[in-house]
Amino acid sequence: MGLFIEDYKVSGADTVALEDSIMQKGKQVTAGSRILDNFTSPFNATVVDRLLDGGFKISGRTVMDEFGLLKLSRDDDNTPSGALRAVSEGISAYALCNDLFGRYRGEAPKNDCCYIHPTYGTVSRYGLIPLASSMDQIGIVCKDLSQGFKLLSHLAGKDPKDGAMFPDSSYNYGTTDEKITLGVPRSVVEKADEGTREAIMDFIKEFSSTDINLEYFDLYNQVMYILSSAEISSNLSRYDGIKFGYRASGYTNIDDLYIKTRSEGFGLDAKLTAIMGAMILSKDQYGPYYEKAMKIRRLIKESVKFDTYKVIVLPCRISDDPYENLALYSLAPLAGLPSVSFSYKGHGIQLVAGVKKENLLLSTWEVSMA
Amino acid sequence: MPNIEDYEAMTKISLSEDERAVVSDYMDMLLDSFNKLEDTDVSGVEPLISVLDVKGPMRDDLVIKTISREELLSNAPEQHDGYFQVPRTVD
């Protein structure tokens, strides 16, 4: 499979590839789904306008998994996603995408790239095809975090078109003199392979560090799946074959049109997520699953205090099972925190900091690379 | 185990037999994993709906031009006389 749906044949240090979930006026945008067949975006996402205003060039639109959904199958296909390949193969300097379930955060270090997942509410979601709205966040694939944060400085800042944003009109990312103390959740790190464990132990030597216990870690993936599937199921309800996108043929009535359109238009992962979300939001399951998961989400958010430590260090892989690995990538979206992932001595490392503490992440990375 | 056909009807999705078998297996796995939630005491905890403590912004109630009718309808699978066209919904 190619990496570009559309390749604009531009190159250079100021090129940015767009994952096919980010709207670009006049271009076909499908989020990797047949259900958006023939959909042409009538406007630019805010991030696209800001890229163009900042003098960046769009290098192309990259292929993606349907809507960026979690794939539960233990996939033998190790081909990196389009956005990752565009950057790792040097075709584009950067790529923008929405990494809800950790695919890009996991793949980036393996492909000599870095990933920046900014604080929720700092980058406009306007024009991003929604997945789980309370967690969606456009992030950056880059070769170098200091360059990636320079790009983020162009993108971040309040947009009146997105109702869930901090009021800051702009952000100037850079390093900080603030003392960095790393929090190391040993029980999580121990789940990683030997090479990653050694790399993390080596990494933390450069800093002061303290052992921490990530409370509720064993519930991260459940809470993440429950809340995201409920939100995704709700967001997928707009695809009905009436106003835009794919419409099946040969229907007998309106109900048949909906059913044929959605059954033919969605892939298996979208069908599973829509059905799981509908079940989780149903009268009998709402309390034990959805409401309880929202309460545990609060407990998770409040449990990471960033008091005796400022940056949490995590591995990028603890299992062959995508559902188990999801736990590693849930803290940032569930608590709205910034994170970065990158390769350190050949192994993937992920750092998570407090709200709007991106500068600590950049400083930690720079010290480790010195 | 919930009846999967009920949720297919709810989501307007009709699974093939093969798809239903796969979805059913994943549902069993997921629901089994959700049992872990039972051990956590959440009494007195308020649900967290949004991580942002920022109050929803208000704007003046002004009519502004966004996307034209023609642009919106250009994405419609079927249209007629400037409207979305759908099958008969009332007998």
Q: Among 3.40.190.10, 3.90.1300.10, 3.40.640.10, 3.40.50.10740, name the CATH number for the domain at A4-216+303-369.
A: 3.90.1300.10
DSSP output for chain B = ---HHHHHHHHT----HHHHHHHHHHHHHHHHHHGGGGGS--TTPPP---S--SPPP---------S-HHHHHTT-SSEETTEE-------
Residue of A nearest to B33 (CA): A222
CA A312 – CA A290 distance, rounded (Å): 27
Count of residues in chain A: 370
Mutate to test the interface with A, among B25, B30, B73 (most CBs of A within 10 A): B30
Nearest CB partner across the interface for A299, out of B29, B45, B74? B45
pTM, to two decimals? 0.96
pLDDT tens track of chain A, all 370 residues? 678 888 888 889 999 999 999 999 999 999 999 999 989 999 999 999 999 999 999 999 999 999 999 998 876 667 788 999 999 999 999 999 999 999 999 999 999 999 999 999 999 999 999 999 999 999 999 999 999 999 999 999 999 999 999 999 999 999 999 999 999 999 999 999 999 999 999 999 999 999 999 999 999 999 999 999 999 999 999 999 999 999 999 999 999 999 999 999 999 999 999 999 999 999 999 999 999 999 999 999 999 999 999 999 999 999 999 999 999 999 999 999 999 999 999 999 999 999 999 999 999 999 999 8
Cβ-based contacts under 8 A for chains A and B: 164
Residue A145's nearest CA partner among A11, A306, A344 is A344
Query: Which amino acid would we find at residue A102?
Result: G
Mutate to test the interface with B, among A69, A275, A303 (most CBs of B within 10 A): A275
The set of residues, in sequence order, having a beta carbon less than 8 Å from that of A122 and lying 6+ positions away, is A156, A157, A165, A166, A168, A171, A356
Rounded to two decimals, the ipTM of the complex is: 0.95
The CB density around residue A257, as the number of other CB atoms within 10 Å, is 22
Phi and psi torsions of A278, nearest 5° = -65, -40
DSSP output for A201-214 = HHHHTTSEEEE---
Q: Could A288 and B27 be called an inter-chain contact, meaning their C-beta atoms sit closer than 8 Å?
A: no
The structural domains of chain A, with segments of one domain joined by +, span 4-216+303-369, 217-302
